[in-house]
Amino acid sequence: MLANAIVGVRDIARGTKFYDTVLGALGYVRHSASEKFVGYGTGQGKPQLWVCIPRNGQPATAGNGAQVSFIAKDKASVDKFHASALAQGGSDEGAPGYRPPDKSGSYACYVRDPDGNKLMAVCAKPG
């Protein structure tokens, strides 16, 4: 359904370091970069997530109610994503665990990047 998602950052170097680390924990890679944007994806095809300095020159702000969710291959990847985000200056919005907590659903975590963008990593079949 979606061609891609975009999150704005105030500092592209800090954003690149953060997203290289946390998306690397899930096996995603950087496809392209410039002074104002970085594109990430699976390594095949086009980038699916763009991290950028807003084109209008205004400061980046986090969307209230907005969230970007990433597919993780397993529970360990979700855990690594969460730990990597915190180590890179992100904040916790929900520690790794089952949603719902009875282990019948997915295994996920929620974080915010240093600019306040809400991110989720989820393993649909945690096994």
pLDDT digits (tens, 9 = 90+) for 34-56: 999 999 999 888 899 999 999 99
How sure is the predictor about 104, in pLDDT bands with cuts at 50, 70 and 90? Answer: confident
Cis peptide before 114 (omega within 30 of 0): no
Give the residues across from 112 on adjacent strands.
91, 118
Average pLDDT over all residues of the chain:
93
What pLDDT shows up at residue 103? 74
**Residue 84 lies in domain:** 5-123
- CATH number at 88 reads 3.10.180.10
Q: Taking 90 as the threshold, does the pLDDT of residue 126 lie above it?
A: no
* Residue scoring higher pLDDT (102 or 68): 68
Q: Taking 90 as the threshold, does the pLDDT of residue 2 lie above it?
A: no
* Domains: count for the chain: 1
